[in-house]
């Protein structure tokens, strides 16, 4: 799967990009037809500690799935987004299998 990572208001290091790639590769175990993923990492200029926004747009045939999480660290946000997308892909797969049968 092709993963595009865009970071806003900061420069993402290679460790973070590798972490994101590894996590998103696990989504292919749940759904084979993932086309690409766009990952947006943003840092808000606020005094709150939870100022890091992780957003994943997952493109599958005929649809797109979106997840957006806010937290203290990008890694935690990506983990939450991936688990949410796993549930969404499971629902899509179940719905698709019912329609085909």
70-92: pLDDT as tens digits: 999 999 999 999 999 999 888 88
Position 28 scores a pLDDT of 85
8-45: pLDDT as tens digits: 888 889 999 999 999 999 888 877 888 899 999 999 88
Position 79 scores a pLDDT of 95
Kind and range of the H or E element at 25?
helix 14-25
Q: What is the residue extent of each domain of the chain?
A: 2-100
Alpha-carbon torsion 95, 98, 99, 101, what sign? positive
pLDDT at 98 over 70: no
Indicate the pTM of the whole model. Answer: 0.87
Task: List Cα–Cα distances, 3 to 7, 34, 51, 94, in angstroms.
Answer: 13, 11, 23, 25
**CATH of region 2-100, choose from 3.30.160.100, 2.30.130.10, 3.30.1280.10, 3.40.50.2300:** 3.30.160.100
């Amino acid at each position: 799967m092709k993963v595009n990572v865009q970071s806003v208001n900061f420069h993402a290091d290679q460790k973070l990009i590798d972490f994101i790639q590894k996590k998103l590769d696990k989504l292919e175990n749940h759904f084979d037809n993932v086309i690409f993923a766009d990952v947006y990492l943003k840092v808000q200029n606020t005094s709150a500690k939870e100022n890091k926004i992780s957003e994943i747009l997952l493109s599958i045939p005929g649809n797109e799935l979106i997840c957006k999480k806010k937290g203290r660290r990008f890694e935690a946000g990506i983990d939450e987004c991936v688990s949410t997308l796993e549930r969404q892909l499971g629902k899509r797969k179940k719905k698709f299998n019912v329609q085909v049968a």
